[in-house]
Structure 1
Amino acid sequence: MDRILKSISFIFHPLLMPLVGVVFYFLVSPRFTPEEIIYAKLISLAILTVLLPILIYFLLKTLGKIQSIYLKTTNERILPLTLNCIIILIVLLRIITQSQFIELYFFFVGILISTMACLILAILKFKASIHMIAISGLFMFLIVLSIHFNININDILALMSIIMGAVATSRLHLKAHNYKELIMGFFVGVMPQLILVTYWL
């Protein structure tokens, strides 16, 4: 059971959630987008939102700025979260623009707001669950996307609910977070996506 719960934290890692949201968008969007553009966007996003943060992690660990991938203390979170905000800004300016994909643009604006909120909480010595922020933000985006495109994805949303529960259980089991940190993470992830709905739904 310990291995299963640990694997859940890695499989549904926060770094992967933005890319999952973009993949899902291109799968269900009724708008025609040339395949070469889709592949270019996905590759660019994979490099910026997954590979680059991993490289930054190893650099920060080498420099002694962080001790482990778990970022156990709030002080360890400040620099990685700041750098992640910069990465998301680059995505918004260069990869996912409002004129091209308005839904994805505000999805990433929501991610940026959630990341900044998590950074502010870290500065205030509160360790909100980044796993819950990422998975709940994606969950809210999928709900609104299903309404926007008028598609039935109830089975996917049900699965996402189970996954959120599994992620929360995993973080509690690993003693990475307490209930307050998980609940705060949920709201920090959901609220920006919900508020930004008025700009594109």
Structure 2
Amino acid sequence: MKWFFNCISFVFHPIVMPLIAVVFYFHKSPRFIPEQWIDAKIISLFILTVLLPILIFYLLKTLGKANSIYLRTTKERILPLLVNIIIILLILYRVFPSHQIIELYYFFIGVLISNITALVLNIIKFKVSLHMVAISGVFMFFIGFALHFSKNINGTLALMSLITGTVATARLYLKAHTPRELFIGLLIGVIPQIIAENYWL
């Protein structure tokens, strides 16, 4: 079981969740978007949200500033969260500015607020579950997407509900977080997306 829950934690790591949300949007959106444009955006996002954080992690590990990709202590999380905030600002400025795809722009505004909140809590020595922050934010974005486009994605939402519960169970089983840290992480992921969705729903 430990192997299974480690795999769940790895597959649904916070760094991949924004990419999953964007791929989902492009796949399900009823709008016509040129395929080459989609490919360019996804490649840019993959480089910024997946490859760059991995490279930065290995740099931090080399410098002795991080021990695990799961960043188990609040001290380890501060610098990666700061870097992630800068990356999200870059995404908002260059990849998904407000005049292009409003839904994705405000999705990343919500992600930015979530990351800033998590950073502040880490600075005051309160560790929240970044897995729950990420996956619950994406889950809320999917719900907003369904409402916005009046699209039936009940199967996707049911799957996301199952995945969210499995991720929470994995983090508890691995003793990475307490129930309180998971619940606060859930709130930090969901509430900023609800606020952001008021501007595009």
1:63 corresponds to which letter in structure 2?
A: L
Q: How high is the TM-score relative to the length of structure 1?
A: 0.99
Deviation beyond 4 Å, 4+ runs, structure 1:
none
Once the two structures are TM-superposed, the CA of residue 102 in structure 1 deviates from its matched residue by 0.3
Residue equivalent to 2:161: 161
Q: Secondary structure at the match of 2:152?
A: coil
Residue equivalent to 2:191: 191
1:43-54 equivalence runs, <5 A: 43-54=43-54
1:1-201 equivalence runs, <5 A: 1-201=1-201
> Following the alignment from structure 1 to structure 2, what is the Cα–Cα distance between the partners of residues 13 and 77?
14
Once the two structures are TM-superposed, the CA of residue 29 in structure 1 deviates from its matched residue by 1.1
Q: Secondary structure at the match of 1:72?
A: coil
1:73-104 deviations in Å (ceiling 9; x for gaps) = 11111000000000000000000111110000
> Following the alignment from structure 1 to structure 2, what is the Cα–Cα distance between the partners of residues 70 and 154?
31
1:37 corresponds to which letter in structure 2?
A: W
Q: Secondary structure at the match of 1:33?
A: coil
> Following the alignment from structure 2 to structure 1, what is the Cα–Cα distance between the partners of residues 142 and 195?
14
Once the two structures are TM-superposed, the CA of residue 155 in structure 1 deviates from its matched residue by 1.1
1:176 corresponds to which letter in structure 2?
A: A
Q: Secondary structure at the match of 1:199?
A: coil
Once the two structures are TM-superposed, the CA of residue 64 in structure 1 deviates from its matched residue by 1.1
Runs (5+) with no aligned partner, structure 1? none
2:193 corresponds to which letter in structure 1?
A: Q
1:61 corresponds to which letter in structure 2?
A: K
2:30 corresponds to which letter in structure 1?
A: P
1:100-125 deviations in Å (ceiling 9; x for gaps) = 10000000010010001000000010
Q: Secondary structure at the match of 1:69?
A: coil
1:29-84 deviations in Å (ceiling 9; x for gaps) = 11111100000000000000000000000001111111221211111110000000
2:92 corresponds to which letter in structure 1?
A: L
RMSD: 0.6
Q: How high is the TM-score relative to the length of structure 2?
A: 0.99
> Following the alignment from structure 2 to structure 1, what is the Cα–Cα distance between the partners of residues 170 and 101?
34
Q: Secondary structure at the match of 1:151?
A: coil
Once the two structures are TM-superposed, the CA of residue 198 in structure 1 deviates from its matched residue by 1.2
> Following the alignment from structure 1 to structure 2, what is the Cα–Cα distance between the partners of residues 175 and 139?
23
Q: Secondary structure at the match of 1:30?
A: coil
2:181 corresponds to which letter in structure 1?
A: E
Tell me the matched-pair count.
201
1:180 corresponds to which letter in structure 2?
A: R
Q: Secondary structure at the match of 2:198?
A: helix
Runs (5+) with no aligned partner, structure 2? none
1:190 corresponds to which letter in structure 2?
A: V
Q: Secondary structure at the match of 2:70?
A: coil
